[in-house]
C-alpha cells in the first residue's frame, strides 16, 4: 500500500467512524410503532401522567395485542377537570421539535349503539400534566348514534371545548386516521381520514391569531412541544361504553430520547464508505 492509498483508506475510515458516532445523536429519528404483537422495544413508550392518580397509568387488565394492533378497552376513567383517574395513557416525551413536525395515529373503534350516554373519546393527546392538555379526538356523541372528530382543552384543570369539530356520520369499523402537523409559521393543522376512500383531509388550522377557546387550544402548541408529551388514551367521557379500540400505527418525527438505539441507516453508511478502503487494504496485503 502506498502512502497515498494508506492516507485515503484512513481518511475514509475516519469519516465512516465520524458518521457512525455523530448521525445517531444528531438525526431526527422518526418514531413508528405498528404494534405488531407488542410495543416496539425501540420506542421509549411511557405510561406516567404527572397529576394523575395513579401516576403510572399502566393497567394491563385493559390492554393487550393482536398480531397487528394494540387493543385498549375503555376504562371508567378520565382526565376531566380534577377527576384525574386516567388509565393506559401511552405517551412519549418530546425532546426536540423539528420545524416541520407531525404526529399521526390510526385505529379502529366501532362504537356500538348499546347506549347513548356520555362522549366516549379516543384521544390523541398533547399534554404537560393531567390538568394541562389538548385532545384531538374521535368521539361518539351523547344522545345520538353519531361519531365525529372533535377537540377539548384543559388549562389549570379548567375544561373547555377545544374550538373545532366535525361530524363524520354513523359508527363504523373503518380505520380512522388522525394527524397533527406544524410548520415554520407556527400554525398547527388537524387532519383526519375516516377510511371511506376520501383520503386525508384538513379539519382546521390553528394560528397565533386565534382567540377564545381556539386561542386556548393554540396556547398548548404556541409554547412549543419540547418538555411536553404526545400520546393516546381512551376517556369514557361520562358514558358506559364497553368497546375496545385497536391501534395499528403511531408515528412522529418529534425527537424522543432514543439516542441509545443505533440507527440502521448510519451503520449502513459507515460500512458503505469503509468497505472499499478495507477491501483495498486486504488486496494490498495479499499482494505482498
Residues that bind Ca ion (CB under 5 A): 79, 84, 130-131
What distance in Å separates the CA atoms of residue 234 and residue 119, rounded to the nearest whole number? Answer: 11
- Residue 64 falls in which region: left (phi positive, over 0), alpha (psi -120 to 50) or beta: beta
Q: Least distance in Å: CB of 251 to Ca ion?
A: 27
Q: Least distance in Å: CB of 154 to Ca ion?
A: 5
CA 145, 218, 156, 106 torsion-angle sign: positive
What distance in Å separates the CA atoms of residue 181 and residue 51, rounded to the nearest whole number? Answer: 27
Q: Which is nearer to Ca ion, 130 or 241 (CB)?
A: 130
Q: Least distance in Å: CB of 86 to Ca ion?
A: 9
Q: Least distance in Å: CB of 49 to Ca ion?
A: 10
Q: Which of these, 154, 125, 122, 126, lies nearest to 139 by C-alpha position? A: 122
Q: Which is nearer to Ca ion, 70 or 90 (CB)?
A: 90
Other beta carbons less than 10 A from residue 218's beta carbon: 24
Q: Which is nearer to Ca ion, 18 or 158 (CB)?
A: 158
Cis peptide before 37 (omega within 30 of 0): no
Q: Which is nearer to Ca ion, 127 or 164 (CB)?
A: 127
Q: What are phi and psi of 166, to 5 degrees?
A: -155, 125
Q: Least distance in Å: CB of 159 to Ca ion?
A: 7
Q: Which is nearer to Ca ion, 96 or 128 (CB)?
A: 128
Amino acid at each position: 500500500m502506498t502512502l497515498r492509498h494508506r492516507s485515503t483508506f484512513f481518511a475514509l475510515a475516519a469519516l465512516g467512524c465520524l458518521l457512525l458516532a455523530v448521525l445517531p445523536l444528531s438525526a431526527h429519528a422518526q418514531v413508528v410503532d405498528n404494534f405488531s404483537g407488542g410495543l416496539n422495544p425501540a420506542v421509549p413508550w411511557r405510561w406516567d401522567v404527572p397529576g394523575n392518580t395513579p401516576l403510572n397509568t399502566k393497567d394491563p387488565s385493559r390492554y393487550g395485542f393482536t398480531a397487528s394492533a394494540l387493543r385498549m378497552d375503555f376504562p371508567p376513567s378520565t382526565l376531566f377537570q380534577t377527576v384525574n383517574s386516567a388509565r393506559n395513557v401511552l405517551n412519549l416525551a418530546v425532546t426536540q421539535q423539528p420545524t416541520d413536525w407531525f404526529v399521526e395515529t390510526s385505529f379502529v373503534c366501532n362504537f356500538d349503539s348499546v347506549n347513548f350516554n356520555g362522549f366516549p373519546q379516543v384521544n390523541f393527546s398533547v399534554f404537560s400534566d393531567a390538568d394541562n392538555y389538548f385532545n384531538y379526538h374521535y368521539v361518539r356523541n351523547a344522545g345520538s348514534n353519531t361519531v365525529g372528530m372533535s377537540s377539548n382543552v384543559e388549562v389549570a384543570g379548567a375544561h373547555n371545548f377545544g374550538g373545532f369539530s366535525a361530524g363524520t356520520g354513523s359508527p363504523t369499523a373503518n380505520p380512522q386516521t388522525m394527524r397533527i402537523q406544524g410548520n415554520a409559521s407556527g400554525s398547527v393543522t388537524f387532519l383526519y381520514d375516516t377510511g371511506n376512500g376520501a383520503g386525508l383531509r384538513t379539519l382546521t388550522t390553528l394560528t397565533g391569531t386565534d382567540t377564545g377557546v381556539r386561542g386556548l387550544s393554540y396556547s398548548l402548541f404556541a409554547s412549543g412541544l419540547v418538555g411536553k408529551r404526545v400520546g393516546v388514551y381512551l376517556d369514557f367521557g361520562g358514558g358506559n361504553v364497553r368497546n375496545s379500540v385497536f391501534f395499528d400505527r403511531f408515528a412522529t418525527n418529534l425527537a424522543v430520547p432514543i439516542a441509545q438505539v443505533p440507527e440502521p441507516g448510519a451503520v449502513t453508511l459507515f460500512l458503505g464508505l469503509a468497505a472499499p478502503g478495507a477491501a483495498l487494504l486486504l488486496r494490498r496485503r495479499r499482494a505482498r
